[in-house]
Amino acid sequence: MLKAVILIGGPEKGTRFRPLSLDTPKPLFPVAGKPIIQHHIEACVRIKELKEILILGFYPPSQMQQFVSNMQNLYDVNIRYLLEFTSLGTAGGMYHFRDQIRSGNPSAFFVLNGDVCADFPLQQLYDFHAGKGDRALVTIMGTEATRQQAVHYGCLVLGKNEEVTHYVEKPRSYVSTLINCGVYCCSMEIFSRMGAVFHSKQLDYNSLNNGNGKDSGHIQFEQEILTPLAGTGKMFALQVNNWWSQVKTAGSAIYANRHYLALYKNTHPERLANAGQKTSEHSQGSLICNIVPDVHIHPTASVHPTATLGPNVSIGPGVVIGPGVRIRESIILENAVIKDHTLVLHSIVGRGSQIGMWARVEGTPSDPDPNKPFAKMENPPLFNNDGRLNPSITILGYAVSVPSEMILLNSIVLPHKELSRSFKNEIIL
């Protein structure tokens, strides 16, 4: 038997994802029509021996309950949300809930960070881990990055037989181009390592009363468990070439959207609107709209036949799209209304937002450099050194209203704003 643990953090995390995370917890933000962590759950469910998925975080249960019960009804595995009483770090939560993870005596468990998106090769990871026998405490899924970008991630150095001989989290200088994907397969013996760290911290805590404001149970998996394990012969890494990306900023959500839509071709072709002109199952062959693949349209959305969508567009539930609208490389969230002949490029339109007629909403993509092999998403800060807004995708928060014939370029609009003019490179507070 196997289990999976998905680490989702809490509301004070994911600040770079604002304003989208102001009304939806970041792990539940829809990418390719499904919440980010539903993609994790779907990857876990494909493994036959996997019987339970535990979601760890400190979001209020009221925000997670509905999602968990929906997932429970949808999939044939036990799914539970375990609430941390405070932020306990990437390993502290697992140690705190060790009895829940260990119950039923699983042979191993997966750990997935909630802010990564990938074509998760979990079966391959488990087979590799099991193949190392009792020696392996942790197997890390690793991937190649560029030399410049690798320092923003955990870097691994491999010895013989894929053993990790050196591990540094976000090093100050170049260590290796092999990086940690935030996806692991762990043996049960890892809890004794966590326990040793926990008890040494309790002693320090009682003698020093650490002044950093963190709970004494706060343990970081990468720095406090993985780094000491490197070179002991108990930690291994499986290098994969599958697509992988972090979702730190809203711009990376559009990049992830594109890749998940492409993966649907093999995994869930029924979620994609067909190329060309699609007919609806309810009407007598009336055209839905022109599609440039890949596009996901929620069944409850209403799209005018003369609209053109794609490539890489996700349309959420209850969305209304008027005649002649053109949308590409964008995510339109539930109950948004886009009126006639409006153009939306590289943007995210928030829930319940309205865009008038003949408007133009456009952002700048922040995709990885296509000319560099292994390049990852750049997650630039909001402002550059001159104090100007870095060009980014355009984001409309919840219930924003854009009047007709306005242009919105590279701007971020916070919730409940009614715009009265055009904006360029601005944050509208």
pLDDT at 53: 95
Query: For the segment 5-24, what is each residue's pLDDT rounded down to a tens digit?
Result: 999 988 876 677 888 888 88
Q: Please say which residue of 246, 268, 290 terminates a domain.
A: 246
pLDDT at 13: 63
Q: Which phi-psi region, left, alpha or beta, contains residue 128 (left: φ > 0; alpha: ψ -120 to 50)?
A: alpha
**What are φ and ψ of residue 62, in 5° steps?**
-60, -30
Q: How many CA atoms lie within 13 Å of 252's alpha carbon, on the beta-carbon side?
A: 22
Asked if 119 and 91 touch (Cβ cutoff 8 Å), the reply is: no
**Is 15 inside a domain boundary?**
yes
Q: Taking residues 74-97, what's their average pLDDT?
A: 89
Query: For the segment 177-229, what is each residue's pLDDT rounded down to a tens digit?
Result: 999 999 999 999 988 889 988 888 887 766 555 555 677 788 888 888 888 88
Question: pTM of the entire structure?
Answer: 0.91
What are the residue ranges of helices labelled H in 85-135? 89-96, 98-102, 122-131
pLDDT at 14: 61
Residues 216 and 337 in one domain: no
Residues 220 and 355 in one domain: no
pLDDT at 284: 39
What is the extent of the structural domain holding 50?
Answer: 2-246
Q: Is residue 275 over pLDDT 70? A: no
Residues 146 and 76 in one domain: yes
Q: Please say which residue of 220, 246, 272 terminates a domain.
A: 246
Residues 26 and 141 in one domain: yes
Give me the CATH number covering residue 206.
Answer: 3.90.550.10
pLDDT at 285: 38
**Is 429 inside a domain boundary?**
no
Q: Please say which residue of 222, 246, 270 terminates a domain.
A: 246
Residues 45 and 146 in one domain: yes
Look at the chain and report how many structural domains it folds into.
Answer: 2
Residues 43 and 61 in one domain: yes
CA angle 236, 84, 48 (to 5 degrees): 50
SS3 label, residue 348? strand
Burial class (CB in 10 A: 0-12, 13-18, 19+), 130: middle
Q: Provide the percentage of residues in the chain whose pLDDT is more than 70.
A: 94
Residues 235 and 150 in one domain: yes
Residues 203 and 260 in one domain: no
Query: For the segment 46-70, what is each residue's pLDDT rounded down to a tens digit?
Result: 999 999 999 999 999 999 999 999 9
SS3 label, residue 260? helix
Residues 263 and 293 in one domain: yes
pLDDT at 314: 95
Amino acid present at 170: K
Residues 240 and 254 in one domain: no
Query: For the segment 99-156, what is each residue's pLDDT rounded down to a tens digit?
Result: 999 999 999 999 999 999 999 999 999 999 999 888 889 999 999 988 888 888 889 9
